[in-house]
Amino acid sequence: MAEEQSRLSGHTIEDLNDYLDRGRTPSDSSIDDSPACTVALTRLERLRAALRRVDSAAVDREAERTDGWVATIIDSIRLETRAGRRIPLTSDSPVARLALTEGAVIGVLRTAGDGIDGILISRCRLEGDVTEPGEPITVRLDVSVGTDGMNTGESVRDLTARLRAAVYAVLVQQTELTIAAVDITVTDLYLTTALPTSEGEADE
């Protein structure tokens, strides 16, 4: 916790969740003016937006567990507040040393996943030596899939194919990493609960 507080200007992920619960009021400059807190808040807000698209009963059940998928995502966000490894970028300047942080790249990948209805990235990892230009890197994503993304007739395979394409595109546009593969594992599938019938029963 001490390490987490040092990264988040004296706060924890739980503090930031509480801040969002209060609608960011009263405002707290130690949070609002902290770049690390801003990144974490953005990721927590995206998670909340994604959860609103999932059946509320399923979310309530998961919220009571410490090993559920919501807890897993929160733990991932906690880890991603770390800068991680330094990913070099080429420069025309002989003195400039440009780089991205691993945490920033993972944030970009989460943003790509947020753009696809029905996909929620639970965990994201960059495997390989990202500090060495040209080294092959494998992106591994654990995702949850909800039926809101399948309403247009897309299958789970279709959704993950769209996610893979989005991930490749954003990595090509914003990094110089050599991507060997994007491996996606669907760890959870959540179906929307049908509305109760007039007899008070739910359809299967």
Q: For the whole prediction, is pTM greater than 0.85?
A: no
Q: What is the CATH number of the domain that holds 104?
A: 3.30.70.1350
- Residue 74 is assigned to a structural domain of this protein: no
The answer to whether residues 128 and 51 belong to one domain is: no
The answer to whether residues 54 and 113 belong to one domain is: no
CB atoms within 10 A of CB 45: 12
The answer to whether residues 51 and 106 belong to one domain is: no
- Residue 204 is assigned to a structural domain of this protein: yes
The answer to whether residues 15 and 90 belong to one domain is: no
The answer to whether residues 87 and 147 belong to one domain is: yes
Indicate the number of domains in the chain. 2
- The reported pLDDT for the residue numbered 193 is 46
Helix (H, G, I), strand (E, B) or coil at 101: strand
What stretches in the chain show pLDDT beneath 70? 1, 3, 5, 50-70, 72, 76, 79-83, 147-153, 190-204
Contact 39, 83 (CB under 8 A): no
The candidate with the shortest Cα–Cα distance to 36, out of 141, 87, 107, 139, is: 107
Taking only the tens place, the pLDDT of each residue in 20-35 is 999 999 999 999 998 7
- Point out the domain boundary residue: 15, 31, 64: 64
Contact 99, 132 (CB under 8 A): no
Taking only the tens place, the pLDDT of each residue in 102-143 is 888 888 888 888 778 778 888 889 999 999 999 999 999 998
- The reported pLDDT for the residue numbered 90 is 84
The answer to whether residues 104 and 60 belong to one domain is: no
- The reported pLDDT for the residue numbered 69 is 63
Full residue range of the structural domain in which residue 93 is found: 82-204
